[in-house]
């Protein structure tokens, strides 16, 4: 699986987890579905392609301000919990975050 596809799966997983715990919904609300679609669309058009770093460390950060704030909120909460809910994705994400 490509790095972009893996990141798309991870970001969707993180948003789903956030929705489940904060909104007590098994499926994403329209607002968070939009955020997940937006994040995946940004990944599809990432100018760094397969050589990208994690978005958190990106020198450009291509998100619009509203989506950027929304994804930050999601990541702040889900980041530390990913090791419990999706350990494989968390390990891979941490590896790329530490890799320069
Ligand atoms: S934030 Fe940076 S790394 Fe992430 S998708 Fe946008 S350009 Fe690519």
Closest C-alpha to ligand 1, atom 8: 46
Distance 52 CA to ligand 1 centre (A): 7
Element (H, E) at 91: helix 87-98
Range 45-57 average pLDDT: 90
The answer to whether the CB of 43 is under 6 A from ligand 1 is yes
Separation between Cα atoms, residue 12 and residue 94, nearest integer Å:
17
Q: Yes or no: say if 52 and 58 are a contact pair by the CB < 8 Å rule.
A: yes
Task: Name the token pair of 98.
Answer: 């530490």
Distance 46 CA to ligand 1 centre (A): 5
Q: How high is the pLDDT of residue 83?
A: 86
Atom of ligand 1 nearest to the CA of 55: 4
Q: Where are the domains of the chain?
A: 3-98
Confidence of residue 100 (pLDDT cuts 50, 70, 90): low
Q: Rounded to 5 degrees, what are φ and ψ at 42?
A: -65, -40
Residue 44 scores a pLDDT above 80: yes
Q: Which of 2, 6, 39, 46 to mutate to test the pocket of ligand 1 (most atoms within 8 A of CB)?
A: 46
Confidence of residue 37 (pLDDT cuts 50, 70, 90): very high
Is residue 71 classed as helix, strand or coil in its secondary structure?
Answer: helix
């Amino acid at each position: 699986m490509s790095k972009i596809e893996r990141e798309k799966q991870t970001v969707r997983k993180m948003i789903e987890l956030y929705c489940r715990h904060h909104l007590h919904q098994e499926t994403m609300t329209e607002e968070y579905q939009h955020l997940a679609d937006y994040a995946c669309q940004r990944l599809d058009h990432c100018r760094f392609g397969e050589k990208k770093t994690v978005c958190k460390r990106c020198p450009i950060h291509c998100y619009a301000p509203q989506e950027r704030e929304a994804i930050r909120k999601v990541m702040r909460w889900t980041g530390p919990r990913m090791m419990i809910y999706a350990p494989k994705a968390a390990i891979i994400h941490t590896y790329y975050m530490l890799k320069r």
